[in-house]
Amino acid sequence: MRSAHVTRNTLETQITIKLDLDGSGKVKFDTGLPFLEHMLDQIARHGMIDLDIVAKGDLHIDAHHTVEDIGITFGQAFSQAVEDKKGLRRYGHAYVPLDEALSRVVLDISGRPGLVFNVDFTRSNIGEFDVDLVHEFFQGFVNHALVTLHIDNLVGKNAHHQAETVFKAFGRALRMALELDPRMAGMMPSTKGTL
């Protein structure tokens, strides 16, 4: 079973994440950040990942530490759950539209962290959520999941739609990359022999 339970405590945040990469999209969140929870729900439901996140952070300052540390802890849990990567498709991609917005996400469970993030949000906040934190979430994730991730919002006028297409496409690309390829059973999906 590809699952993990990770707790990360710092002076700024306390994060606990349980995930099951072979789940059905069930979620349970307690983060104090409703918009982020809405986006995490997109990852879980479109990625078919069960995700349980409890986060306590210094929200009286702002949401930066909490969002970044959720990304970091999610990346740590992902890395633990993927294990040796044998038999994985490894690569995943998805285009997702929502009304006028369209985003593309391409990823590689490569063993190397890398983020290319091309999203020009049309406003600085979605409700009370600072859109700069979307980048921080994904940067934290790739640094600890050891994933190469390209995110491009191709078009969009509504910032909520832009963000939602990014998170949905990320979930769908993850789902594809995590699939076990019957033709690669027991094999490492790399010419190097390791990832």
Q: Domains for the chain: give ranges and CATH numbers.
A: 3-184 (3.30.230.40)
Per residue in 42-87, pLDDT (tens digit) is 999 999 999 999 999 999 999 999 999 999 999 999 999 998 888 8
- Which residues contact residue 193 at a Cβ distance below 8 angstroms, ignoring those fewer than 6 apart? none
pLDDT above 90: residue 132? yes
Q: What is the rounded average pLDDT of the residues 135-163? A: 98
pLDDT score of 189: 74
Whole-number average pLDDT of the chain: 95
